[in-house]
Amino acid sequence: MTPIKINHVAIVVEDVREALTFWRDALGLPLQHTEINDAEAVEIAFLPIGEGEIELIQPTTDDSGVAKYLAKKGAGLHHLCIEVDDITAALARITDSGAELINETPRTRPDGTRYAFVHPKSTGGVLLELYQLPGA
């Protein structure tokens, strides 16, 4: 398992369209696309920057994990995502170290990206997402 790079930083927002008035309009980041992730119950706006992205995430239900996070902590930094070359090996290494996972097995996005989250209790307070891109 080799960490490759930071893939994205996710920011939880109340309203994606409202948040775009800063990130796209004021700051000038291009909006690549938006999508709904039903598994996580979020709408995501993808804004590329350098080799990574800023993701603006808005809950689509009131009972999702992101909705609960937003209600408890408010808008702001939600998680950091690190791209890895082998997510199965990464999860095994993390588990072997005694760290706590949120997802013991990776989920798969429609584009084939595999992902899993590491609990903030194990990372010094940061929700960490691991990504393995298709073909890696």
Q: Say which residue the tokens 């309009």 belong to.
A: 25
pLDDT tens digits along 22-61 = 999 999 999 999 999 998 999 999 999 999 999 999 999 9
Q: Are 29 and 49 in contact (CB under 8 A)?
A: yes
**Cα–Cα dist 70/43, whole Å:** 14
- Cite the DSSP H helix spans in the chain: 16-20, 65-73, 87-96
pLDDT band at 1 (very low <50, low <70, confident <90, very high): low
Mean pLDDT of 105-128: 94
Mean pLDDT score of the chain: 95
**Cα–Cα dist 69/75, whole Å:** 9
Q: Are 66 and 76 in contact (CB under 8 A)?
A: no
Domain interval for residue 76: 3-132
CATH number at residue 44: 3.10.180.10
What is the tally of structural domains in the chain?
Answer: 1
Spatial CA neighbour of 103 closest among 65, 48, 55, 46: 65
